[in-house]
Structure 1
Amino acid sequence: MRIALTGGTGFLGRHLIDSLLQSGHQVTAWCRSDPDTVSSRTPHVHWIRGELGQRRDAEQLAQSADAMIHAGWYRGGDSFLNIDADPERYWQINSVGALQLLESASRAGVNRFVFISSGAVHDQVLPDRPLDETHPMRPRTLYGACKASIEAMVHHYGSSGKLVAASVRPTSIYGLAEPASQSKWFELVAQIKRGKNVEATGGSKTVHASDVARSVALLLQQDDSIAGETFNCCDRMISDYEVAMLAKQLTGSPSQISGHEKMAKHEIETAKIRSIGMRSRR
């Protein structure tokens, strides 16, 4: 299958590329820098210049593609939650940019479209119902609001018959980053290895990047019944305390770990994605 990909140079994008290439797909991906420079690191990917929010770039990416995966995101700083000083520009690039990709894919006859959404659409959880895909989206951040708006557009394109489009909604994604120092929990583990005393009180619902890639691969294999649908993607709650204690055990560190194991307030329902064969390998 010929796959068009946004976000290929990012953390999750690298895991998506590895998964797609191992499955025998051909990948064309956007990059903002010189394609020849990026190609030297990933020679089996066809890199083309492209940026989110540029209509011509979206049209070029959709050409001759069998499927498109939208994993790219414009952010104003190191964190996805950073929106820089111009919220209107942030919204324009991310939300309108996604619309341009959907429309370009539809016009080009792309067979499948998968959008990588986020659990940030559910900052506020209602206590009287399960946290499944039918739960109302109530984000508190502009990041979550943008993701929710794109999910709505994906639903429109899918349910209207314009495009077999679906969203996968991962929680906090972890895994080996490049460089490794940018990996989740890296600094916590490094402090323990150095013998520093640490306080570990945080935690989050998580899923490994390779499992997100597997969920995308499964959606690409489904029939047209996924059109307009959203699929939660979560493995389990991992607390910083759990990671710290494991690091202490493996390194033999004398570090003193203070804190407690954080528990999830709300369980995320993942029966829908498991019904198409998704199982975490972690």
Structure 2
Amino acid sequence: MKIALTGSTGRVGRFIAREIIAAGDTLLPLSRPGYRLGDRPDLTGCDALVHCALAHLPGRYRGGEGEDPEGFRRTNFDGSIALFEAARQAGVARVIFLSSRAVYGDYPPGTALTEHLPPRPDTLYGAVKWQAEQALAALAAPGFCPASIRATGIYGPGSGHKWQTLFEAFSNGAAIAPRRSTELHGHDLARAVRLLLQCQETGAFNASDILLDRHDLLARVARLTGVTHPLPARSAAAISAMTSDRLRALGWRPAGIAGLEATLPKMLAQRADAAGR
């Protein structure tokens, strides 16, 4: 297969790019500076498109619009529509859109978020993702098969990974606020994309794995690094976790806590290497 991938060098896209290459497929990378959302790339000859690109303030997704909400919406929603239409016009058969758990928005904490719940986004980021999901689904036609993955927070090794600032703050003895969150390894997200590329299932698919407390995460970091600074208190906040029933029905099995423990040494080694340069 020849697969076009937007955001191929980004924090999330790089995992999917590696999966595509490892599977022996041909990758058409669409990333800055050669590609920007809103461009209409030449997708002739592509069998599939995976759309991961998002224009946002560095390190921020919710709130990533900063002081320019209209620009954020125009770039990300209108740009996605232009991309989807370019794919359909080029005869691309399969389109996978990277959406977000943010589409579920304001459900009460502790709600089990299934794919059957109607989205209720309460941020511009979540609203734009949900609107793009709907626009893509409306383009479905014989020979054009779309699907969306609603992913939770993605972690894993690589420059600028999501916990880099947190690890540095803990190492420096800064006070860390309690927090719990749902997490998914980037490799497991990439495997979910691979499964969807190999089938014709449509609609939305939740992708989530572990519920992780910062106390437990940083306790593991402390054991691996010898840092003895105080750990944050455990969070008592109720968390709405997504169920991933549709992906699991396709055979998807994320790595769980074992995956976290296997990758943490790699993430910490990267930080040590960067500090030594």
TM class, shorter-length: 0.7 to 0.9
Residues 260, 89 of structure 1: CA spacing in aligned structure 2 closer, same or farther, 3 A cutoff?
same
Alignment match, 1:174: 155
Alignment match, 1:53: 38
CA distance in 2, matches of 1:244, 1:92: 38
2:2 is the counterpart of 1:20: no
Alignment match, 1:239: 213
5 Å matches for 1:59-74? 60=42, 62-74=43-55
5 Å matches for 1:126-137? 130-137=112-119
CA distance in 1, matches of 2:164, 2:58: 20
Identity over aligned residues, as a percent? 31
CA distance in 2, matches of 1:199, 1:173: 20
Alignment match, 2:268: none
CA distance in 1, matches of 2:232, 2:186: 29
2:150 is the counterpart of 1:157: no
Alignment match, 1:39: none
Task: Please identify, of 254-263 and 140-149, the stretch whose mean Cα deviation from structure 2 is larger.
Answer: 254-263
Alignment match, 1:85: 67
Can you give the 5+ residue segments of structure 1 that lack an aligned partner in the other structure? Answer: 34-48
CA distance in 1, matches of 2:237, 2:252: 24
1:190-212 CA-partner distances (Å, limit 9, x unpaired): 34445x26434012111111111
2:170 is the counterpart of 1:185: no
Tell me the matched-pair count.
255
CA distance in 2, matches of 1:278, 1:144: 25
Alignment match, 1:41: none
Residues 138, 148 of structure 1: CA spacing in aligned structure 2 closer, same or farther, 3 A cutoff?
same
Q: Which amino acid aligns with 1:206?
A: E
CA distance in 2, matches of 1:101, 1:197: 43
Q: TM-score, normalised by structure 2?
A: 0.85
5 Å matches for 1:201-216? 201-216=178-193
Q: Which amino acid aligns with 2:152?
A: T
Quote the offset at 1:189 in angstroms: 2.9
RMSD across aligned positions (CA): 2.1
Query: Residue 116 of structure 1: SS of its match in structure 2?
Result: strand
Q: Which amino acid aligns with 1:212?
A: L
1:169-196 CA-partner distances (Å, limit 9, x unpaired): 1101111232xxx2222333334445x2
Alignment match, 2:242: 268
Alignment match, 2:269: none
Can you give the 5+ residue segments of structure 2 that lack an aligned partner in the other structure? Answer: 260-277
Query: Residue 27 of structure 1: SS of its match in structure 2?
Result: strand
